[in-house]
A and B are shown apart, each in its own frame.
Chain A
Amino acid sequence: MALIEVEDLSRTFVVRRRTGRVRRTATEVRAVDHLSFEVERGEMVGYIGPNGAGKSTTVKMLTGILVPTSGRLSVAGVDPSRNRVDLTRRIGVVFGQRTTLWWDLPLRDSFELLRRIYRIDGTRFRQNLAEFCELLDLGDLLDTPVRQLSLGQRMRGDIAAALLHDPEILYLDEPTIGLDVVSKSRLRAFLREVNAARDVTLLLTTHDLQDIEQLCSRVMVIDHGSLVYDGSLAGLHTQGGSTRTLVVDLVDPLPDEGRIRVEGASVHKVEGPRQWLSFPTDASAAPLVAAVAASYDVADLSILEPAIEDVIAELYSRR
């Protein structure tokens, strides 16, 4: 049985709007619409979609703080909304824009309170704390009040806090938002380590596609409450119908702004001696390069991979 099982899950909200002086009309908004997926233990899954697509609503249902309107849901073998309190001991949550730490207290005190809240065994707690302090470089920060921490430091503290009770699943909501490049890559390295060494399943919602590229072998794209894609990152390119680009620098520009003519690719831009040729993502570049080199005087060649942002924007706009 999969760790997370979602079957035909829906959630509607009733939104009341004033339509006259006194009259109010209730409209139903379907935030999540017949959603189905499974996540196996140890997976790192990226969950992406535009604002208002239903990401948070899904995560709220998975953690039991929102009751589904219909459908079946099982997380670690239990129904989240029925067993919310039991489930809290088995999951961890991190929100990039909120903190679970106590603002006025040193980081150490937040960790101590969490030890008591989750009744973490003393030895286990010390082991975990020592390990996280080393991996996240928190040692010197333990006695600093949380309000004095920088965003990157606070985020590291929040992630350690979410993992102290050895959760099986970690939900991360935009964990790298607002962080600088170094902090981001450090955080990602830590998450990879946690996933590999502790077998923690990660479900990550984000708008930063580099998070996905560097962490997740699987990506789910949600829009208007239902999945528009579920699979590998590479597959997303095919699904999105994206193209790769071969950039050719000719020795001399072709006369009369002429374009390179070759099988399996078409020129979409010309600038002096440089020409841009698009070809399908699933086609090999080798024969194309050979064909171009055989017919033209080529000074230089390079291949541009499609930006994942463009692929996803394409997916969103299709609906």
Chain B
Amino acid sequence: MLYVAVAVRAFRRYATYTAATLAGIFTNSVFGVIISYTYIAVWTHNPSAGGYDVSDAVTYAWLGQAMIMTVAVWGGGATDDLAARIRTGDVALDLYRPVGLLGWWLATDLGRAAYHLLTRGLAPTLVGAVLFDLRYPDGPVTWLLFAVSTVLAVVVSFGIRMLVTASAFWLLDDTGVKQLQIVVAMFFSGLVVPLVLFPGWTRDLAMALPWAAFLQVPADIWLGRRAGDEAWWGLIFQAAWAAALLGVCQVVLQRARRKVVVQGG
């Protein structure tokens, strides 16, 4: 199967940069500790803020660190490789192959995400588990739901990043759009402040936006704050955004291809 082979190669490719991975794990662990103490201070002051207790909050801090690279909250990943190919014009070579861009790059990004989950995701979580009293999924079903939710989180994030990258077909450089997406993603993914802490309608809004699929939904499944039907609704929410974004990506890439083909490049 082509896409599996592509994902495996992407995994291996990232695995060649061991030093970068180790440095990243260290950074994630340091930030995990800092954010944990910040949350402990907040929840000592208000022990049921956002419906979380203090162990929920600390666990959320470490899940956030695990998700940064896995879900590529800051952007990056396979879509950056595509952006580079658009800038240099190498993307024209991709048109000489009988495969579509979207499936190819999604497979690449999933391979990358798998590598980051096993390294930048797992290792800091183990550090957090040693230093703090974390909460864990309460059974195999919850673990499974969390796993599916993580995959969907990557796909939603990929969809957004792909749209940012595709803008380069018209703008030639996606740096500005990318920075905008980083700021929005940082805020609305709940990476800095959990979305459950947002007041009133801003919380409802944030919960409906695709960035909620990055961290808040998988974290709530992990913590058991979304159990039973709630967990399933969480997955449906993610899957709906994933499908919608991939659909838009497909249309945009089709237009981008026509632009290259019709207008030259």
| Chain A residues with a Cβ under 8 A of chain B | 11, 13, 31, 57, 60, 63, 65-67, 81, 84-86, 88-89, 91, 93, 95, 98, 100, 102, 104-105, 109, 112-113, 116-118, 145
Known: A67-B262, A109-B12. A98 touches B90 (CB 8 A): yes
Interface of B is mostly: helix
Given the known A-B contacts A13-B264, A65-B260, are A116 and B96 also in contact in the complex, defined by CB atoms under 8 Å? no
On whether the beta carbons of B16 and A104 are closer than 8 Å, the reply is: yes
**Do A102 and B9 contact each other (CB < 8 Å), given the known contacts A84-B95, A88-B96, A116-B2?**
yes
In the complex, the answer to whether B263 meets A13 with C-beta atoms within 8 Å is: yes
What's the Cα separation between A213 and B59 when bound, in Å?
A: 71
For the complex, what is the distance from the CA of A118 to the CA of B97, rounded to whole Å? Answer: 8
Q: How many residues on B have C-beta within 8 angstroms of the other chain's C-beta atoms?
A: 23
A100 CA to B5 CA, complexed, in Å: 17
Question: Which residues of B have CB within 8 Å of A63?
Answer: 96
**Is there a chain A Cβ closer than 8 Å to B219's Cβ?**
no
Whether the Cβ atoms of A65 and B99 lie closer than 8 Å is no
Structural contact, A104 and B13, CB atoms closer than 8 A: yes
Residues in B whose Cβ lies below 8 Å from that of A95? 93
Verify A116–B5 contact, CB threshold 8 A.
yes
- Interface residues of A: mostly helix, strand, loop or mixed? mixed
Residues from chain B with Cβ under 8 Å of A112 in the complex: 5
With both beta carbons as reference points, the residue of chain A lying nearest to B81 in the complex is identified as: A103
B4 nearest CB neighbor, chain A only: A116
**In the complex, which of the residues A116, A118, A145 has the most CB atoms of chain B within 10 Å of its own CB atom?**
A116
- When distances are taken between beta carbons in the complex, the residues of chain A under 8 Å from B96 are 63, 65, 88, 91, 93, 100
Q: CB-nearest residue of chain B relative to A56?
A: B264
Given A81-B261, A105-B12, A109-B9, A100:B93 Cβ within 8 A: yes
| Chain B 53-96 near chain A by CB (<8 Å), digits 1 or 0 | 00000000000000000000000000000000000111011011
Chain A neighbourhood of B92, CB < 8 A: 65
B261 & A117 in contact (Cβ 8 Å cutoff): no
A-B contacts, CB under 8 A, total = 59
Least Cβ distance of B172 to chain A in Å? 15
Take A102-B9, A112-B5, A145-B16 as given contacts and tell me if A117 and B97 are in contact as well, using a CB distance cutoff of 8 Å: yes
Closest-by-CB residue of B relative to A84 is B95
Asked if B6 contacts A113 (CB within 8 A), the reply is yes
Any A CB within 8 A of the CB of B140: no
25 contacts between A and B (CB under 8 A): A11-B264, A31-B264, A57-B264, A65-B95, A65-B261, A66-B264, A67-B261, A67-B262, A84-B95, A88-B98, A93-B96, A95-B93, A98-B88, A100-B93, A104-B13, A105-B9, A105-B12, A105-B13, A109-B12, A113-B2, A113-B9, A116-B2, A117-B2, A118-B98, A145-B16
Distance in angstroms from B2 CB to nearest chain A CB is 4
The residues of A that contact B90 with a CB separation of less than 8 Å are: 98
Least Cβ–Cβ distance between B130 and chain A, in angstroms: 33
Q: What distance in Å separates the Cβ of B13 from its nearest Cβ neighbour in chain A? A: 4
